A and B are shown apart, each in its own frame.
Chain A
Amino acid sequence: DAGVIQSPRHEVTEMGQEVTLRCKPISGHNSLFWYRQTMMRGLELLIYFNNNVPIDDSGMPEDRFSAKMPNASFSTLKIQPSEPRDSAVYFCASSFRANVLTFGAGSRLTVL
């Protein structure tokens, strides 16, 4: 198994631009999580899905952030418009029945 696949690995963009991060979970996993990691705030849970349905999005910072999971093998996290304070590493993780998490390699976002 290729593990959890995230793209892009690095993204540099300018303030105001739209950013889309993508995630392919491990086949057979039915839970998917989006985390954001910064030095100041550590690993923050943004949103998680069970069986493609968003269960808890209370960690999404504001309306500029949105996440979708149209099917069991794909999820996106979108930021529109992006701001410099959104700069962080964004991790996607998947699990079976919300148990042990397998993380992707992360997407490092820099907003100038």
Chain B
Amino acid sequence: QQPVQSPQAVILREGEDAVINCSSSKALYSVHWYRQKHGEAPVFLMILLKGGEQKGHEKISASFNEKKQQSSLYLTASQLSYSGTYFCGTETAGNKLTFGGGTRVLVKP
């Protein structure tokens, strides 16, 4: 079953912060985050494993609460280059990676 992402879209001014949430109804082994620019393929940002860890990529960080089966992606001091669609991918038994519906992020000057 597909993880649920929220919000579906967000518009930011350069320098503002945003949070994207991802939740699953199934027990998770890991959570992946990818970003896709228009007309391009999704590109890996980070992977979070069991243990409630946090990771960072540039000023983008994420957390994983395995008990709640939720992950959040934090865009801090957003830059124009952060625009794109962000997907969370949840890994369940059998190494199956299922993606959420995506969150479209637009960062304006």
Contact = CB atoms under 8 A, between A and B. Distances in A.
A70 B52 CA distance: 39
A106 interface: yes
A42 B41 contact: no
Contacts of B100: 42
A104 interface: yes
Interface residues of A, number: 21
B106 to A, nearest CB: 17
A75 B56 CA distance: 34
Given A43-B102, A100-B32, A33 B97 contact: yes
A42 B89 CA distance: 12
Contacts of A106: 41
Given A42-B99, A43-B87, A45-B99, A56 B41 contact: no
A105 interface: yes
A98 B97 contact: yes
A56 B102 contact: no
Contacts of A100: 32, 44, 47
Given A91-B41, A104-B41, A45 B94 contact: no
A55 interface: yes
Interface in B28-83: 32, 34, 40-44, 47
Contact of B96 (A43, A48, A103, A104): A48
A14 B99 CA distance: 30
From A42, A56, A97, A106, residue with most partner B Cβ within 10 Å: A42
Interface of A: 31, 33, 35, 42-43, 45, 48, 50, 55-56, 91, 97-106
- The 5 closest A-B CB pairs, nearest first, are A98-B95, A103-B41, A43-B99, A42-B101, A100-B44
